[in-house]
Amino acid sequence: MKPEEKTFNFVATEIEFSEDGFTLQLADGRTLFTPYDLVPSLSRATKEQRENAKLLGMGTGIHWPDIDEDLSVEGLVLGKKIIDWQKPAAG
């Protein structure tokens, strides 16, 4: 690898909750804030349901058991679209 090339570590070491969203502390020192409005299931969830989250896969994912939601840290960091699986299909 060339010295100017960077590799990214998509591993969270901690998750913190606020009124508007959650913040991930990443293993490489970065922090990432995600508003609840970007995650449809979290925007519908109660405060207790939102805060009942567990880091999975040595910090590569987050699981909310009360609302059956799983997100990857990589997807959040890269800004991948979050699909609302509970939204009725158009048609």
Segments in the chain forming alpha helices (H):
40-44, 47-51, 73-78
In sequence order, what E strands does 19-68 have?
21-26, 31-35, 54-56, 61-64
Would residue 40 count as lying in a domain?
yes
Spell out the per-residue pLDDT of the chain, length 91, in tens.
455 555 567 999 999 999 999 999 999 999 999 999 999 999 999 999 999 999 999 999 999 999 999 999 999 999 998 888 776 555 5
Give the integer Cα–Cα distance in Å for 68 and 31. 24
Instruction: List the beta bridge partners of residue 63.
Output: 54, 70
CATH number for the domain spanning 63: value is 3.30.2020.40
Would residue 65 count as lying in a domain?
yes
Q: What total number of domains does the chain contain?
A: 1
Which structural domain, as residue segments, surrounds residue 64?
12-78
Would residue 1 count as lying in a domain?
no
- Model pTM score: 0.83
Would residue 83 count as lying in a domain?
no
Please work out, in degrees rounded to the nearest 5, the angle formed at the alpha carbon of residue 15 by the alpha carbons of 48 and 65.
Answer: 45
